[in-house]
Chain A
Amino acid sequence: MNPQFSWNLVTDVQWLWSVPSVLNAYRAGVVVAVLAGVVGWFMVLRRQTFAGHSIAVTGFPGAAAAVYTGLSATLGYFGFCIGAALVIAYYTRGSGSGDTAGERAHSSALIAVVQAFALALGALFLQLYGGFLNSTSDFLFGNFLGITSADVVVLVAVAAVVLVVMAVIGRRLLFVSIDPAVAAARGVPVRAVNALFLVLLGATVAEVSQFTGALLVFALLVMPAATAQVFTARPALGLAIGVVIGVLSTWIGLAWAFFGNQGTGFTITTLAFGCYVLALAIRAVRTRLRTPAAASGALEGVS
């Protein structure tokens, strides 16, 4: 099962793709990375990483609850993730990321309580079920090897729906995210767009975390998108960079995981995080080279 890694990359890839489960992992990886890259770009732009993380975590108790009650885990993932998204969307005032300091404080407390309570439910169902302590780590860290061809088809379908809706509301969502006040004045339904985005985020997380686990999906949402936004503020270019980084990290991370006998949670996050740190370093060097005087002035202003 675990052949040695050789520097002949062609034979490596040939071997990887000759195993059906690994091939499916690669197919799923592309879909996941594209979906997470696009939705994550807006999540990072809107500074809703905390909300995204909380929604991602609620997938785990959702799955535990579904397995305990004998329903399919998929139903649990979607029910809990979209439910959490709706609760957060309904009770947060303002744009969701919070406008004033007071609103931000209240919405962050709400998001935290939603997450903590969901986890408490997860603990309850784990105790009641009693049997699947070992699959807990699968819920949290995912199992990329268990993906069947049918799963990939479902994944592609969900991704297509989410991406089409994103394409339809994309311009308005961008407007609302960048300047909610002006968008509201121009007649854009700010609250509805904000809520719809959170629901899309919930659906994305629910679908993706079945394969990647609740914890890795957050990494795929935030890391490529944050890297892209370090490089450029232009939406189309940023989305493209995010997707490319996501796909490359996932693919290389999968190969590393198989050959190195590591968890995908470790390999993929490490590659994506490496890209982010590299991007920050490049930006720091570039600003220093371009305008040494202005950079030192800015630093003085900060401290």
Chain B
Amino acid sequence: MFQDSYMLTALVAGTGIALACGLVGYFLVLRAQVFTGDALSHVAFTGALAALAFGIDLRVGLFAGCVLVAVLFGALGRRGRADDVVIGNVFAWILGLGVFFMTLYTTNQSGSGDGGNQTVQVLFGSILGLSSSMAVTALAIGLAVSLVLLLIARPLLFATLDESVAAARGVPVRLLGYGFLVLIGVTAGEATQAVGSMLLLGLLAAPAGTALLLTDRPYLGLALSAGLAVADIWIGLLLTHLVPRAPTSFWIMTVAAVTYAAAVAYSRSARAKRRAPDKPADPAESATSKEAAA
């Protein structure tokens, strides 16, 4: 599998991005801010097209767009969390701007027909087309985001689970909210290049959603989420190697979605089982307690 060098670079880049997405995604789901991640994955699209239209480096557009809009969302909401309706309005318009830049770009290219391909590239990414230096950058950024997140994990968890008590205990709730949004922005900007703006959302939400269904313990969940995200990428790449007819992004997302569906089924049956033995157990229990009383 590793005879092809592009598989190895994909694995290196994918691991870094998956680690960041898994860790950031866990807090994203826990804070019910998944819509922000969704919005940023679309903002990445506009940022990239703007960069293309003005002829500057794609990455500048991606990072600048994502981080700026992430901070904007923070500024629009209370304590660094924006309302869903505000997010919806802002990013729907930013997508409209993306159309504007796309028109500008394709007009500048004067009908070479390349505009459509570039657009698709931005939307779905190409993890197999990364150069080795890009892969190392992705790994470095992924590790840096993970490290920062782990450093603020404890206060961020406190601020997430009980905001007012955390604020009363002197935790800088607002600052943490903004810091977290910047981390999401950086993750979105980096992940877009590798897995595409459309599949970023899946990597943010699916492993984290799975982890939250399986365990209530925060640090275990955090580790599980990161581990699942990395596993999704690895298995997805392996499946692409075996069945190259389908795109990598499809395989990665299929693995993630199937895992999530299994977790949903498991948590439902576990809940049903927990409830079911209760009923027959009840009379028996009361009978034994009566006997004990007698």
Contacts and interface: CB of A to CB of B under 8 A. Distances in A.
Interface of A: 44, 47, 49-50, 52-54, 91, 98, 101, 104-106, 108-113, 115-117, 119-124, 126-128, 133-134, 136-137, 140-141, 215-216, 218-219, 222-223, 226, 229, 261-263, 265-270, 272-273, 276, 302
Contact of B250 (A120, A133, A266): A120
Contact of B92 (A117, A141, A219, A262): A219
15 contacts: A44-B85, A53-B38, A53-B88, A106-B212, A106-B213, A109-B260, A110-B264, A112-B34, A112-B202, A120-B250, A124-B247, A128-B245, A137-B116, A137-B119, A276-B89
Contacts of A106: 209, 212-213
Nearest to A227: B89
A123 B257 contact: no
A112 B209 contact: yes
Given A119-B253, A120-B257, A112 B201 contact: yes
A113 B99 contact: no
Contacts of B88: 49-50, 52-53, 218, 222, 226
The 7 closest A-B CB pairs, nearest first, are: A116-B202, A109-B209, A269-B96, A120-B253, A112-B205, A265-B99, A219-B92
A123 B124 contact: yes
B103 A113 contact: no
Contacts of A98: 32
Contacts of A116: 198-199, 201-203, 205-206, 253, 256-257
Contacts of A262: 99-100, 103
A141 B101 CA distance: 13
Nearest to A261: B103
A126 B88 CA distance: 27
A90 to B, nearest CB: 11
A266 B37 contact: no
Candidate in B92, B199, B246, B252 with the most chain A CB atoms within 10 angstroms? B92
A209 B250 CA distance: 23
Interface centre among B89, B95, B212, B253 (most CB of A within 10 A): B89
Given A120-B254, A123-B250, A49 B201 contact: no
Contacts of A229: 85
A301 B117 CA distance: 51
B87 interface: yes
Given A112-B34, A115-B202, A219-B93, 20 more contacts: A105-B29, A105-B30, A106-B209, A108-B34, A113-B256, A115-B201, A116-B206, A119-B199, A123-B199, A123-B250, A124-B247, A215-B92, A216-B96, A222-B89, A223-B89, A266-B99, A269-B93, A270-B96, A273-B92, A273-B96
A265 B85 contact: no
Given A116-B201, A262-B103, A269-B93, A111 B250 contact: no
Q: Tell me whether chain B's interface is mostly helix, strand or loop, or mixed.
A: helix
Q: Which of A44, A106, A113, A115 has the most CB of B within 10 A?
A: A113
Contacts of B260: 109, 113
A120 B138 CA distance: 22
Interface of B: 29-32, 34-35, 37-38, 42, 78, 84-85, 87-90, 92-93, 95-100, 102-103, 113, 116-117, 119-120, 123-124, 196, 198-199, 201-206, 208-209, 212-213, 245-247, 249-250, 252-254, 256-257, 260, 264
Given A105-B212, A266-B97, A226 B85 contact: yes
Contact of A108 (B29, B199, B256): B29
A222 B247 CA distance: 33
A266 B247 contact: no
A112 B37 contact: yes
Given A98-B32, A127-B247, A109 B253 contact: no
A137 B95 CA distance: 12
Given A101-B32, A116-B253, A117-B253, A268 B96 contact: yes
B85 A263 contact: no
Contacts of B250: 120-121, 123-124, 127
B112 to A, nearest CB: 12
A219 B120 contact: no
